[in-house]
Amino acid sequence: MKIIGISGLFHDAAAAAVVDGKVVAAAQEERFTRLKHDANLPVNSIKFCLQFIGCELEDLDAIVFYDDPLLKLERCLAIGSMSKSDNSELLSDLLEEHLTHKLWVENLLREEFQQSLGKLDRLLYSKHHHSHAASAFYPSPFESSAILVIDGVGEWATTSIGFGKGKDIEFIKELKFPHSLGLLYSAFTYYCGFKVNSGEYKLMGLAPYGQPTYVEKIEQYLIRFNDDGSFELNMEYFGFVDNQQMINDAFCEVFNEPIRTPESELTQFYLNIAASIQIVLEKAVLRLCEATRRFTKCDNLVLAGGVALNCVSNSKILKSGIFKNIWIQPAAGDAGGALGAALITYHQYFNQQRYLNSCLGDSQNNSLLGPEYSQRDIVHYLNAVQAKYEVFSNRDELNRETCRLLLEEKVIGYFDGRMEFGPRALGSRSIIGIASSKNMQSKMNLRIKYRESFRPFAPIVAQKNAHKFFQNGFESPYMLLVDDCKDELIIKDYNIPKVESESDLYTWVNSPRSIIPSVTHIDYSARVQTISQKQEHHFYSLLEELEKHTDTPVLINTSFNVRGEPIVCNPQDAYECFMNTDMDILILGDVLLKKKNNLHNEPSSKGAHKLD
């Protein structure tokens, strides 16, 4: 039985293929089109999934969309009645947007593919939070589990509590628009000068630099917590109902500061704002977890929705002990809704049983679900651009050379195997460096990634060694949890500057804080990725080799892209990113390129990457 789920037309379009209940392929549209957060119909992702499972669209047992366009249209119509101002122009724009294409997903698919829509010859629809819930529960390692979905908004739901057992999912409670933790956090993302639906990572990364001095004001004016674990936003301070802007003038008056201009200097005020909203978010999430535990009486929890990508909050859940075990969907945002839509169709529409993966722990296949490219593909492309390269016939030999270069503090673009599904690079489309270097964080941020200097990098470490460097040493295969560096490894006697300009922030960032300074955030935390031997991940053997040569076998792992672009998908994307940045080395499968040997090559037609 072959099913493809799709998400799109809002943001982070994707497609996922499920065959006989197994997750076999998934990819985000942005990786193919090179348009970050591409919101269009995921045509290229669908074609990839069809090619991977070896069939045409008309051969599928079902095609399913991740939410209900009619319910979303209903919400858009209701916005007019919620508004306290005359927003007829806004309502007209929303209606035109929905009535011209967002309501007609089935027609768009027919026009694009010119085929019947599978054996049913019609498109099935899931609900947004049902798709999220399914994406979290069905691939999880749990026979039964509490389910918590927290995001901006689906059709109406912003928070959903459910319970999964076997093949069945039951929904127990939900909160509805406009009361939303995702939109609350996005409002502060906007206030701090970052882009909504992409800058939330920056806000989370910025939070440890500040003091939570505005928590009381946020709770006094903006959000009210209820005894049952729910919450309500005070809509007098937000603009996303009235005028499609996140906040209004009253919001700014609460804090007596204007919205930060994007790319302007970051001052202590915005650092404190970031710290404050992170604390409020964590409090709200923990209260929801307590309520979820009361409702379900279950020891296990699965999470999805955009807020589940807040790894600091996730770690607070794990450490709280409210649940014994948690599992988070690696593609927790809307892209993962495509996967959930396919899975819920298989198990509930077609009434098929669920079987747990007892070998790997979950059924996500390390989230390595995208395209891969053979050595023949790679060499063919490199020859076409007249690149100079070396081919290694033995992976052990390549690992030895890679480790030698890493210990020389070279920055390496690492491209191998199937592309990751979800926003995190997990070792297949990564830029890597040695974590013990004092200079690697600033070098990667400013000369490779072209992004803000304050943003931390994640460490990747073998699971067996995690406890040597981090307090808890828990499994974190998808880089969705934060751990603290061990006390004996940290350096506490460095001067913390008063941040009056971004140069002060830069000085702070580059002060060594542990023996693995390039992956230690200023609060001594790290967003850890662990790899175990049972995962059969190609990166594990590299870490094994590194351990032979250093007492700190920990690497920086950051996504293979530059600011403003999606993670690379194919060898051409990787080569062009390599040539237009200060990366030293590029590894494509078993092929290694050195920048110094390829400086004769003409620059890419894209031109050098610049700060946006």
Q: What whole-number percentage of the chain has pLDDT above 90? A: 78
Backbone angles phi, psi at 454, to 5 degrees: -80, -10
426-478 tens-digit pLDDT: 999 999 999 998 888 778 877 777 666 677 789 999 999 999 999 999 999 99
Q: Is the pLDDT of residue 608 over 70?
A: no
Question: Ramachandran region of residue 422, left (φ > 0), alpha (ψ -120 to 50) or beta?
Answer: left
Question: Tokens 């069945």 sit at which residue?
Answer: 168
User: Cα separation of 250 and 501, whole Å?
Assistant: 27
118: left (phi over 0), alpha (psi -120 to 50) or beta: left
Select the more confidently predicted residue: 20 or 444: 20
Q: Is the model's pLDDT at 496 over the cut of 70?
A: no
Q: Is 59 helix (H, G, I), strand (E, B) or coil?
A: helix
Q: 149-163, 370-384, 430-444 — which is least confidently predicted?
A: 430-444
Alpha carbon distance 36, 381 (integer Å): 24
Per residue in 140-159, is it b (16+ CB within 10 Å) or e — as a string?
bbbeebbbbbbbbbbbbbbb
Query: Inter-axis angle of helices 311-320 and 268-296, to 10 degrees?
Result: 40
Window from 130-134, 417-421, 517-521, 565-569 with minimum mean pLDDT: 517-521
Mean pLDDT, to the nearest integer, of 578-607? 84
What is the pLDDT confidence band of residue 15, given thresholds at 50, 70 and 90?
very high
Q: Cα–Cα distance between 241 and 228 in angstroms, integer?
A: 25
pLDDT of residue 356: 87
pLDDT at 522: 86
35-44, 124-133, 501-510, range with the lowest pLDDT:
501-510
The answer on pLDDT for 604 being more than 60 is: no
Confidence of residue 492 (pLDDT cuts 50, 70, 90): confident
**Average pLDDT, rounded, for the chain:** 91
Sheet strand arrangement including 144-150:
168-176, 157-165, 144-150, 300-304, 325-328
- 299's CB contacts (< 8 A; 6+ apart) are 323, 324, 325
Report the pLDDT value the prediction gives residue 606, as an integer from 0 to 100. Answer: 45
Residue 434's CB is within 10 A of a number of other CB atoms, namely 25
Q: Does residue 603 surpass a pLDDT of 60?
A: no
Domain ranges across the chain: 2-136+332-357, 181-326, 375-597
Q: What is the pLDDT of residue 220?
A: 97
Least trusted range by pLDDT, from 272-286, 420-434, 495-509, 541-555: 495-509
Strand-pair category, 62-65 with 123-125: parallel
d(CA 255, CA 282): 21
Please indicate whether the domains covering 2-136+332-357 and 181-326 agree at the CATH topology level: yes
The pLDDT assigned to 452 comes to 67
CA-CA distances (angstroms) from residue 408 to 218, 401, 540, 584?
48, 11, 20, 11
Question: What is the pLDDT at residue 246?
Answer: 92
Q: Please choose, from the candidates 42, 55, 51, the residue with its C-alpha nearest in 3D space to the C-alpha of residue 2.
A: 55
Of 414-423, 432-441, 499-508, which gets the smallest average pLDDT? 499-508
State yes or no: pLDDT of 498 exceeds 90.
no
Which CATH code for domain 375-597? 3.90.870.20
Picking from 142, 511, 572, the residue whose alpha carbon sits closest to that of residue 325 is 142
Residues whose CB is less than 8 angstroms from the CB of residue 479 and which lie 6 or more positions away in sequence, other chains included: 311, 424, 426, 458, 527, 528, 529, 557
Q: What is the pTM of this model?
A: 0.94
Asked whether 519 and 526 are in contact (CB, 8 A), the reply is yes
- Cα–Cα distances (Å) from 429 to 380, 548, 573, in that order, read 19, 24, 10
Please list the residues that pair with 185 across neighbouring strands.
Answer: none
Q: What is the 3-state secondary structure (H, E, C) of 534-562?
A: HHCCHHHHHHHHHHCCCCCCCEEEEECCC
Among candidates 81, 102, 77, 72, which has minimal Cα distance to 92?
Answer: 77
Average the pLDDT over each of 47-51, 504-508, 588-592, 597-601 and give the range with the smallest value.
504-508
CB contact at 8 A, 574 and 588: yes
- Determine contact, residues 348/341, Cβ cutoff 8 Å: no
Residue for token pair 């049913």: 120
Least trusted range by pLDDT, from 21-25, 364-368, 409-413, 510-514: 510-514
Higher pLDDT, 292 or 504: 292
Position 497 scores a pLDDT of 62
Query: What does each C-alpha distance from 506 to 335, 459, 486, 609 come to in angstroms?
Result: 34, 20, 24, 21
pLDDT at 611: 25
Burial of 492 (0-12, 13-18, 19+ CB in 10 A): exposed
Tokens representing residue 342 in the block:
């396919």
pLDDT of residue 342: 98
In the predicted structure, residue 612 carries a pLDDT above the cut 60: no
DSSP string, 237-279: GB-TTTTS-SB-HHHHHHHT-PPPPTTSPP-HHHHHHHHHHHH
**Buried-exposed string 593-610: b where 16+ CB fall within 10 A, e elsewhere:** bebeebeeeeebeeeebe
Backbone angles phi, psi at 368, to 5 degrees: -90, 85
Tokens of 338: 């495509």
pLDDT of 609 above 60: no
pLDDT of residue 20: 97
- Statement: residue 494 has pLDDT above 80: no
Over residues 47-89, the pLDDT tens digits come to 999 999 999 999 999 999 999 999 988 887 887 666 655 566 6
C-alpha span between 165 and 127 (Å, rounded): 19
Rounded Cα gap, residues 493 and 441, in angstroms: 20
Structure tokens at 418: 């199937």
Tell me the three state secondary structure of residue 322: coil
Average pLDDT over residues 498-517: 73
CATH of domain 181-326: 3.30.420.40
Each residue's pLDDT tens digit, 87-102: 666 666 666 776 777 7
Mention the CATH class of domain 2-136+332-357: alpha beta
| Cα(441)–Cα(472) distance, integer angstroms | 24
The size of the chain, in residues, is: 612
- SS3 per residue for 71-132: HHHHHHHHHHHHCCCCCHHHHHHHHHHHHHHHCCHHHHHHHHHCCCCCCCCCEEECCHHHHH
